[in-house]
Amino acid sequence: MTIEEFEHLSSSSKIPDYFLGVDGGGTSCRAAVSDRSGAILGRAQAGAANITTDPDGALQTILQVCRQALEHAGLAQDLELYPAYLGLAGSMTGQAGERLKPLLPFSFSEVRSDGVIALEGALGPRDGMIAILGTGSLFMARQGSELTSLGGRGFLLGDHGGGARLGRALLEECLLACDGLRPFTPLLEKTLAGFGNGLSGVISFAKSSPPSAFATYAADLFSSAGQGDEAAIQILSEAAHLINLSLDKIRFDGCDALCLLGGLSRSYDSWIAPHHRSLLKEPQGDGLSGAISLAIRTFG
């Protein structure tokens, strides 16, 4: 569809008065359709949309969830009639986002990282910073039209402070304690006891488990740290140090807003350095609302 065709359809108050937003990640993919005012008319959710590890499957999931959102809104499901803004995890890894974009059937489309839509959803149009602290981690700041990003490089080489890296650090401490290089603490004993065959069970788990499985140990770390467990405090202190360094790096003069997002955001509240904690604000919305807002701003 050409720009002239898009403008013609928009002026005739037909389907181009609607916008699609997509929030796609390794766990789930959500889509919404809105009118020009931003009112959400339909929503849908489907399975994972990991464009790095399964680009073909991710494409099908994206198209499916968009059609379902349109169906929920009672609108025609011809995707080529709608502009769409997609925030997708992994889109900044290699050429994943660039490879996907030509395959999308929408009238116009923009593919960005899930961090971009999360920032928009959390802060709205204002400047500020976000820290996404879930299974992985990502840090972003916006000052005017400038975006600064840190992290989001995955479990093996990045995602410091994320749940998966916390779980890995805990299991590493268990092995060091088994070797006599660390003192056992109640948390290490409890964690090791969860593996029926001890040390070999930990190693087998580590070889075959995805990041999300490592992240299941994060809750125990925070609760044990609150009870004074030395191993938990050490692991979380090191993680918080990297989080605060990342925020130091992306923070700009005059920054007055920081939103913590993700499943571990509340757990990290007390670990954020005071000079960053003073900026904490409640998020205005989520990544999907951010995708809709950016769709309207970009294509409206």
Q: For residues 284 and 130, what is the distance between their CA atoms, to the nearest angstrom? A: 12
Q: For residues 115 and 141, what is the distance between their CA atoms, to the nearest angstrom? A: 10
Q: For residues 41 and 246, what is the distance between their CA atoms, to the nearest angstrom? A: 38
In this prediction, residue 155 carries a pLDDT of 84
In this prediction, residue 94 carries a pLDDT of 65
Cβ(222)–Cβ(187) below 8 Å: no
Q: Over the stretch 284-299, which tens digit does the pLDDT of each residue have? A: 999 999 999 999 999 9
In this prediction, residue 2 carries a pLDDT of 46
User: Which segments in the chain show pLDDT lower than 50?
Assistant: 1-13, 15
In this prediction, residue 12 carries a pLDDT of 43
Percentage helix, strand, coil for the chain under 3-state DSSP, each rounded to 5: 45, 20, 35
Q: What tokens were used for 90?
A: 């992994």
Judged by DSSP in three states, 115 sits in helix
Q: Are strands 146-151 and 40-46 parallel, antiparallel or unpaired?
A: unpaired
Question: How many other CB atoms sit within 10 Å of the CB of residue 281?
Answer: 15
In this prediction, residue 227 carries a pLDDT of 97
Q: Are strands 258-261 and 40-46 parallel, antiparallel or unpaired?
A: unpaired
In this prediction, residue 93 carries a pLDDT of 66
In this prediction, residue 9 carries a pLDDT of 44
In the chain the domains, ranked by start, together with CATH numbers, are 3-124+284-299 (3.30.420.40), 163-277 (3.30.420.40)
Q: For residues 277 and 201, what is the distance between their CA atoms, to the nearest angstrom? A: 39
Q: What tokens were used for 136?
A: 């992985």
